[in-house]
Amino acid sequence: KAGVTQTPRYLIKTRGQQVTLSCSPISGHRSVSWYQQTPGQGLQFLFEYFSETQRNKGNFPGRFSGRQFSNSRSEMNVSTLELGDSALYLCASSFSGRTQAEQFFGPGTRLTVL
Amino acid sequence: GESVGLHLPTLSVQEGDNSIINCAYSNSASDYFIWYKQESGKGPQFIIDIRSNMDKRQGQRVTVLLNKTVKHLSLQIAATQPGDSAVYFCADRYGGATNKLIFGTGTLLAVQP
């Protein structure tokens, strides 16, 4: 069974641009969560989608948005990029919407903002 | 508040020794905890989990201990191997209909040959 895949793996953008990251969950998984990882702030929750609905959102500005498609694939978008948005963006999928269900992480997308 | 912290940022051990990584959490309502391992260039990998109605859980070479009285969690790795070198995170998941995880700051485990 294929794991969580994220594309692209690496991105370089300049300030003010926007970016879209993609996540394909494990087949059959309906929950997708996104996290931002930086050396200074660690791993921080961005948002979670379950059956195409955003179920929870972290403390990030409105420039960060996401969506989930009917096949459970998810995208996140960051508009008007800032230098501080440089980070590893991780996607995690889970089979069900219940808590205490194991989450599987993808390898991440490394975003560099110049 | 929402915080899960780690006592030690770096832990250096000799190959073959046992390792203990500690974690403190602040939310007394937390009912589920997970340990993840993250190797360089990879996403976090699930190691072991424990529910709040348990004090101890064992896996292959790993044991997680939960002390709810002092809100403390630990991960024990037996006979540490070079392949165990990585950053270890504890994470706390809140109840309710969400998979939101609150991660600790992480501990770098360095295994010396």
- Predicted confidence band at B8 (pLDDT cuts at 50, 70, 90)? very low
Asked if A6 contacts A21 with a C-beta cutoff of 8 angstroms, the reply is: yes
pLDDT digits (tens, 9 = 90+) for A11-69: 999 999 999 999 999 999 999 999 999 988 889 999 999 999 998 899 999 999 999 99
Q: Please indicate whether, in this complex, the C-beta atoms of A107 and B43 are within 8 angstroms of each other.
A: yes
CA distances from residue B24 to B5, B21, B27, B88 in whole angstroms, order as listed? 5, 11, 10, 14
Which chain A residues have a beta carbon less than 8 Å from that of B44?
A: 43, 90, 92, 105
CA distances from residue B68 to B25, B30, B57 in whole angstroms, order as listed? 9, 9, 14
Q: Which two tokens stand for residue B40?
A: 């360089």
For the cut 80, the answer to whether the pLDDT of residue B94 exceeds it is no
Helix (H) or strand (E) holding A43: strand A42-50
Cβ of residue B40 closer than 8 Å to a chain A Cβ: no
